[in-house]
């Protein structure tokens, strides 16, 4: 089984135009490749949402704030295409950097508010680069629906804001985080962990879950932050970039579970930066 791979916006548009002329709807799953079961869950959801499914594969230089991270990012297009071929994906869109950013490219999309703090504070320029490429991918594919993972929770908020503000005619569907059996959120960057770091990595999910349970029971995050940091350090983590609670409705900073919230963290294991998040719902009191 082979998969059609398209490299230019013009070829992509031609394929989509033919599908739409035949009355098909189109779903897109944007990725940076090195596909794992989290991505494949997005593809399965995409198949339920539309008649045609496009997966995009583009390691977007503009969203990397760190040259070493970009250089080390795994690139496994052949294996990725082999994983997608049996899943009923209609097309893999894998443009080169020149096709995406031709000479003279000068536009940046910057989403205020939800992109501030958290990853926005620690990865300068990241969300501008991400929003710019996602806007391009949504416009190039003309997709009716686009699927994104909750693992990148702040990214999802930025994309929702972007599509509303620019009146992009696309529905955004969020999919829950897919985890390894030991709780570690699947991520392409996990491939860069050595054996010892891989053994330590699930502590991030465990500390988040334990802290979320205490907040759900009535505790304030500000009183739990130091203990969570110690637990991560004991497990072998380096610096914790942030551990923050945000309200799910407007993404404002909160300290307890009086509103449905998300507990989000980023922390380093050696030179690999991991992120994760969990929902927090107050336990109703009798
Ligand atoms: N574990 C996961 N569960 C569900 N969705 C995921 C998971 N990991 C990534 N995704 C989603 O897949 C899409 C593509 O993400 P991307 O290609 O950056 O993979 P990644 O594993 O998140 O890589 P990275 O190491 O850059 O974090 C995004 O919408 C992302 O949120
Ligand atoms: C959405 C995305 C494909 C844009 O490059 C990327 O940020 C990702 O993989 O999450
Ligand atoms: N998964 C989010 C993309 C990034 O880390 O750049």
Q: Which of 145, 175, 205 is a domain's end point? A: 175
**pLDDT tens-digit readout, 151-189:** 999 999 999 999 999 999 999 999 999 999 999 999 999
Among 175, 199, 224, the domain-final residue is 175
For residue 265, what are the β-bridge partners? Answer: 243, 276
Check: CB of residue 38 under 8 Å from CB of residue 147: no
- Run of H or E including 262: strand 261-269
CATH classification of the domain holding 152: 3.40.50.620
Residue 245 assigned as binding residue: no
181: in domain: no
**Are 170 and 204 in the same domain?**
no
Ligand 1 binding pocket includes 140 (Cβ within 6 Å):
no
Please tell me the distance between residue 219's alpha carbon and the centre of ligand 2 in angstroms.
Answer: 34
User: Would the annotation count 117 as a binding residue?
Assistant: no
Residue 38: CB within 6 Å of ligand 1?
A: yes
Tell which wins on pLDDT, 1 or 265. Answer: 265
Ligand 1: does its nearest atom lie under 6 Å from the Cβ of 28? no
Q: Ligand 1 pocket, 152 CB below 6 A?
A: yes
Rounded to the nearest angstrom, the distance between the alpha carbon of 127 and the centre of ligand 2 is 10
Q: Mark whether 201 and 90 lie in a shared domain.
A: no
Residue bearing the CA closest to ligand 2, atom 3: 31
Which neighbouring-strand residues pair with 31? Answer: 57
Nearest by Cα to 40 from 100, 89, 113, 3: 89
Residue 285 has pLDDT above 90, yes or no: no
- Work out the mean pLDDT of the chain and round it to a whole number: 97
Q: Measured in angstroms, how far is the CA atom of residue 20 from the centroid of ligand 3?
A: 30
Which of the residues 39, 122, 126, 230 is marked catalytic?
Answer: 39
Distance 124 CA to ligand 3 centre (A): 13
Co-location of 111 and 20 in the same domain: yes
Dist. CA 238 → ligand 2 center (Å): 25
Alpha carbon of residue 91 to chain centroid: 21
Whether residue 284 is contained in a domain is answered as: no
Check whether 1 has a pLDDT greater than 70: no
Residues 6+ apart with CB under 8 A from 174: 147, 148, 149, 150, 156
- For ligand 1, atom 21, name the residue with the nearest CA: 187
Tens of pLDDT, residues 132-152: 999 999 999 999 999 999 999
Answer yes or no: is pLDDT of 91 > 70.
yes
Establish if 286 belongs to a structural domain. no
Among candidate residues 142, 175, 208, the one where a domain is terminated: 175
- The ligand 3 atom nearest the CA atom of 64: 6
Q: Give dist(CA 120, CA 279) in Å, integer.
A: 20
pLDDT higher than threshold 70 for residue 81: yes
39 labelled catalytic = yes
Mean pLDDT of 113-134: 98
**ipTM topping 0.95:** yes
| Ligand 2 within 6 A of CB of 132 | no
Instruction: Identify whether residues 199 and 167 lie together within a single domain.
Output: no
Q: Is 224 in the pocket of ligand 2 (CB under 6 A)?
A: no
The CATH number that applies at residue 221 is: 3.30.1300.10
Residue 199: give the domain boundaries: 188-278
Per-residue pLDDT for 286 more than 80? no
Instruction: Count structural domains, the chain.
Output: 2
- State the ligand closest to the CA atom of 276: 1
Rounded to an integer, what distance in angstroms lies between the CA atom of residue 49 and that of residue 179? Answer: 23
Would you say the CB of residue 154 lies under 6 angstroms from ligand 1?
Answer: no
Tokens encoding 120: 């926005």
CA separation (Å) from 63 to 102, 107, 135, 173, 227? 17, 14, 13, 22, 32
Identify whether residues 193 and 273 lie together within a single domain: yes
């Amino acid at each position: 089984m082979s998969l059609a791979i398209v490299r230019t916006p013009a070829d992509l548009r031609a394929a989509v135009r033919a599908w739409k002329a035949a009355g098909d709807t189109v779903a897109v799953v944007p990725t940076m490749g090195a596909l794992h079961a989290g991505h494949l869950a997005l593809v399965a959801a995409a198949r339920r949402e539309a008649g045609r499914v496009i997966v995009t594969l583009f390691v977007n230089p503009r969203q990397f704030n760190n040259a070493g991270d970009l250089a080390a990012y795994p690139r496994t297009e052949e294996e990725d295409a082999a994983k997608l071929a049996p899943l009923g994906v209609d097309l893999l869109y894998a443009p080169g950097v020149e096709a995406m950013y031709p000479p003279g490219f000068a536009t940046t999309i910057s989403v205020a508010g939800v992109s501030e703090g958290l990853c926005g504070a620690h990865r300068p320029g990241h969300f501008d680069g991400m929003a710019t490429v996602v806007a391009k991918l949504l416009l190039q594919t003309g997709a009716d629906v686009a699927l994104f993972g909750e693992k990148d929770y702040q990214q999802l908020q930025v994309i929702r804001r972007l599509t509303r503000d620019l009146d992009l005619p696309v529905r955004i569907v969020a999919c829950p985080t897919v985890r390894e059996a030991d709780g570690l959120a699947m991520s392409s960057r996990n491939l860069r962990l050595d054996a010892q770091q891989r053994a330590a990595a699930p502590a991030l999910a465990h500390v988040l879950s334990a802290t979320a349970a205490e907040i759900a029971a009535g505790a304030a995050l500000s009183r739990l932050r130091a203990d969570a940091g110690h637990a991560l350090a004991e497990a072998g983590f380096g610096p914790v970039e942030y551990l923050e609670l945000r309200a799910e409705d407007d993404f404002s900073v909160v300290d307890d579970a009086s509103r449905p919230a998300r507990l989000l963290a980023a922390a380093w294991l050696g030179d690999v930066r991991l992120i994760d998040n969990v929902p927090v719902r107050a336990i109703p009191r009798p």
